[in-house]
Amino acid sequence: DTGVSQNPRHKITKRGQNVTFRCDPISEHNRLYWYRQTLGQGPEFLTYFQNEAQLEKSRLLSDRFSAERPKGSFSTLEIQRTEQGDSAMYLCASRSPTALYEQYFGPGTRLTVT
Amino acid sequence: AQKVTQAQTEISVVEKEDVTLDCVYETRDTTYYLFWYKQPPSGELVFLIRRNSFDEQNEISGRYSWNFQKSTSSFNFTITASQVVDSAVYFCALSEETSGTYKYIFGTGTRLKVLA
């Protein structure tokens, strides 16, 4: 059990550029979550996957954001045409199908949009 | 609507003092879980405790203790004899059965500064 990993850990990009983050969940976990944490706030739910199906999206997930989980393994979160307001920590979490309330968080990807 | 409130934005204490972090939640579910996480400057969320809605027993783990009271919808966290290494942001979170996804709803966090 190597835990949830996220790459990159830090990303600095210029406004208007596209960025993509990757999350590798714990191998037997088929549920995956993305959260966003802005400065001084708690993490906020963005989206949820069960296997490869994206079952819930928050209103925070504007049309510039897209998340995928091909083959139900790793997941990617892409932000198109980044804005300064997208600067945040993006956290990924995974859980097993039986431990309903137990999410394991990755270290996060800190995005800075200049 | 579900909600978690951490009214204390920042608390400063001197080392060895006891400190209590407050958490008040709102939910219509009868089955839910409450959590506390620690977030040091590195940014990683460190799990501290999980408590289900049917278990109101207080819990103690070393210098940490938690007081869960359904009557007041509170789940407070006390650090006894605080240490400088306790300095971090602490988050309380709620997960509800009826959400279907069991996503977490976090409070805004309390920044704890323990001064030497």
Q: Are A97 and A30 in contact (CB under 8 A)?
A: yes
Task: Pick the closest to residue A107 from A50, A24, A48, A14 (CA basis).
Answer: A24
A43/chain B closest Cα distance in angstroms: 6
Render pLDDT for B36-58 as a digit per residue (tens, 0 to 9).
Answer: 999 998 889 999 999 999 988 88
**Residues A95, A7, A41, A34, CA torsion sign:** negative
Mean pLDDT value of segment B76-104: 95
* CA dist., res. A23 & res. A46, Å (int): 14
Whether B64 and B78 have beta carbons less than 8 Å apart is answered as yes
Indicate which of B44, B45, B46, B53 best probes the interface with A, i.e. most A CBs within 10 Å of its own CB: B45
Which of A44-48, A52-56, B56-60 comes out lowest in average pLDDT? B56-60
Cis? peptide before B40, omega within 30° of 0: no
Specify the pLDDT at position A1: 55
Q: How far is B70 from chain A (nearest CA, A)?
A: 19
